[in-house]
Amino acid sequence: MTCLDYPDFLHIIVLEQCDSTNNYIKTNHENLRDRLPVLVTGSLQTAGRGREKRKWVSPRGKGLYTSFGINLGNSKNLNLLPLIAGISVIETLNRITGMQLTLKWPNDILYNNKKIAGILIENIIAASDIFCITGIGINLNHTAADFPGELQDKAISLKMITGLNSSAGQINPVLAAVLFQWLEKLKTGASEEIIQTANRYSGFLKDKIISFHHPPDNKITRGIFKGINHDGGLILENKEGSITIYYSGEIA
């Protein structure tokens, strides 16, 4: 098992409990601005949030609930951040356990097609910079019965795979180190490497028929997943062979 210290430039806040670690950063962003980057982790969340306004049920001792507050200045390729966050979770869990995980665009993390981690990114855009909140939830010690009924055949935890308990305290430093390595690549414009890596982790879906939900027009479209394009969009081919690139939405 790899053990790393937190990067020394990172400010760490450990909360006994909170409504949501993303909310904590949002509410305190004025105070946190001169202490960035910051990592906020909670032992439990009373109102954990997922994408598309879903709940992220967050009981004590079961999951990792961590958000990063990052000032991305005027970095280019901000739209690659969701991919970087997903890649970082995959590589962190691979370093710690050796397991091979996959990426379902934009940033669901899967093991054998079941979700083990999810990411919620929220931005506060000011005149001179972008304050970015990257919230990460990883299922650690759940049994199948710990997941809400509708998720029981769709979700999985590290413990269900390895049989071992793990803790956020053990995973957070590795996650932080890996994420900031990728953020450095984002800043230096290594977008090709980011896209190649995201395509490699989502290769299991390449050329497969998927159902794609695009909330802005509340439509589910079936098509063939052709991968991720140079600026992070999902490439979907319809049955007539024409291509649409999506920058929001999710694979159903």
Residues that bind ligand BTN (CB under 6 A): 20-22, 45, 48-51, 54, 56, 65-67, 108, 118-120, 135-137
Q: What is the CA radius of gyration of the chain?
A: 18
Q: In the chain, which ranges are E strands?
A: 11-15, 38-42, 63-71, 102-104, 108-111, 114-125, 130-139, 209-214, 219-228, 234-237, 243-246, 250-251
* Residue 119 Cβ vs ligand BTN, minimum distance, rounded to whole Å: 5
- 84 versus 191: smaller Cβ distance to ligand BTN: 84
The residue among 85 and 185 lying less far from ligand BTN, judged by its C-beta, is 85
Task: Using CB positions, name the residue nearest to ligand BTN.
Answer: 118
CB of 106 to ligand BTN, least distance (A): 10
State how far the Cα of 79 lies from the Cα of 21, in Å rounded to an integer. 22
Residue closer to ligand BTN, measured from CB, 106 or 223:
106
Residue located via tokens 């990460």: 136
Both structure tokens of 106: 């934009």
Nearest approach, Cβ of residue 108 and ligand BTN (Å): 6
Residue 28 tokens, joined = 């305190």
Closest separation between CB of residue 116 and ligand BTN, Å?
10
Neighbours of 14 (CB within 10 A): 13
Nearer to ligand BTN among residue 52 and residue 231 (C-beta): 52
